[in-house]
Amino acid sequence: MQLEWWRKGIGFEFRVRPEGIALAAAYALACWATRQMSLDQFYLPAGVRVAALLLCPPRLWIYLILGEYAYFAHMRYPLIDKYGLAWVLAASGCLLPSVALIARFHARLLPVRTEVWLLSVGFVSAITVTTLNVAFAHLLWPVPVPIPVIGNLIRFALGDYLGILTVAPLAMLWIRRNSGQGWHPARLRFTIASLLVMLALGLVAAALPSHWSAGRTNLQLLMALPAIALTCIHGWRGAAIGVPLLNLIIGLTTPAPTRLAFDHNTFVAQQILAMAGTALIALGSSITHYFHRYRASDLERQRALKHVRSSHVASEMDLRERALTMRTLGDGIDHSLCEIAHFLKKNGNPGLANGLLSISVANSRQFRGQTSMVYPTSLEHVGLYLALQIGGINEAWSETSRVAAPHLAGDPCQLSIGLQLAAYRSLVEATSLLLKNESGQIRIRARCGRVGVYRGMVASVALLDSGAQVSESTMTLAIERLTGRTLAYGGTVQCRRNRIRILLVEDATGSRACTGAKSAA
């Protein structure tokens, strides 16, 4: 069994698929068409080669190789007599496979294809393909090459690299079309306007007479401004649109006599263009990278805040259940005392019964006040403001004779129950800190409102004496004890001079609160 493969041999199966033949023909036609628009130092088929490898899965690369063979057969068959059959066969059969190996190696080395990945593939591919072309020309041409080796390498490598920068980013943009990063309508309008401005400048530059070279150069420099703006606004996606269009317009508006021949002024411009395109794509990649990092951290922060809010609400619900249980027990005790008082009154002890009832009423009132401080159930029906004014906490503040009547504005019923509970606990805690650690009268102020897509409440607990100063220890305690609740609702705690300022914010799309007497608030 182990030698079965030796006796039967190794079989290879290759099926020619119609879609593969169509792909090969389309690739050959694309290379031929872009070659007609190329300059000697602006070679678009090199970009088509890299873009095709990006767009097609590896199983279809064999058809791309067939298409490139067909393209080179059409282009180089007439050159056999001049340069030899060996050069035509060797130079035509190793370019796309070498670029495919480079792309495959980069994919294994860098599993996550970032935009810098594309720059690396383009640079290495341009150097490799140019080296192969120049080496085959110097080795296999029967006539000597008129240009030195270094000159050929620089010139053709720049042309290949510019072609890759012009076509390959569009292919990468198409691959990532479903990445989830949509186009904002306002930014989309700006993008279209920038592209139209770039195109208009290119048309004006092309229409200028040949002796106005300085004006054409200035217009070409102005064309870079929309590309820079697109890169700064959209990051990598803006660069993937702006850089190819900039390269293509400048390449197509170059004067016709320089096509398929070397021109020194054009060569200098293409060097600047290559550096600018590389810089913009690298800048756009960095902007997109840090944007995604910020977005990921922001999502993590929002998720953490959501968990903290859920934890606070869950703890409040536990207190609510406890308060309801205490109220039920209190009601039972009141009922029992009432029955005892009725029994005493019926058996000729009206004085004792009345005393028991008065004590029961006083204790019941205190008990209910303490229960409301455990959890303010009235907040769910009449809102935060009335819960502060009619609950047990108001009685506790009144007994100190140091808390002035609060100044409250806005409608707290527009806020969620969770935010109102956080505000209630924060105000109670801040007031308690000032009562324990500071002297003088205290004034509570609060205002509820909405700004844009957010709604919330800003409140302050301050010493009535504007010249007083809250101690550093009290400020430290306030920040330590109140920050947890305020951060859960996107707010802050600030201690300034004689006051503790509290800000609580939430998304206005959330549900509103208060099921009862909203108008009373």
300-344: pLDDT as tens digits: 888 877 877 787 778 878 888 887 787 788 777 777 778 777 777
Sign of the torsion angle spanned by Cα atoms 493, 495, 500, 503: negative
- CA 2 vs CA 5, 9, 11, 227, 253: distances in Å: 7, 12, 16, 63, 66
Range with the poorest average pLDDT among 37-46, 111-120, 466-475: 111-120
Residues β-bridged to residue 494? 501
Radius of gyration for the chain, computed over Cα atoms and rounded to the nearest angstrom: 39
Helix (H) or strand (E) holding 74: helix 61-76
CA distance 200 to 206: 10
Range with the poorest average pLDDT among 37-41, 68-72, 291-295, 322-326: 37-41
pLDDT (mean) for 479-484? 87
Is the predicted pLDDT of residue 510 greater than 70, yes or no? Answer: no
Amino acid at 342: H
pLDDT of residue 99: 92
pLDDT (mean) for 474-478? 90
Which of 250, 248, 226, 252 has the alpha carbon at shortest distance from 238? 226
Q: What is the DSSP letter of 412?
A: G
Right CATH for 377-521 from 3.60.21.10, 3.40.630.10, 3.30.565.10, 1.10.606.20 = 3.30.565.10
* Helix, strand or coil, per DSSP, at residue 400: helix
> pLDDT averaged over the chain?
81
Q: State the pLDDT confidence band at 186, using cuts at 50, 70 and 90.
A: low
Q: State the pLDDT confidence band at 265, using cuts at 50, 70 and 90.
A: low
CA distance 125 to 103: 9
Domain ranges of the chain: 17-292, 377-521
Is the predicted pLDDT of residue 519 greater than 50, yes or no? Answer: no
Range with the poorest average pLDDT among 168-172, 252-256, 382-386: 252-256
Q: State the pLDDT confidence band at 12, using cuts at 50, 70 and 90.
A: very low
pLDDT of residue 520: 34
What is the tens place of the pLDDT at every residue in 452-471? 888 999 999 999 888 888 89
Choose between 484 and 516: higher pLDDT. Answer: 484
Residues β-bridged to residue 496? 499
pLDDT of residue 364: 72
Is the predicted pLDDT of residue 288 greater than 70, yes or no? Answer: yes
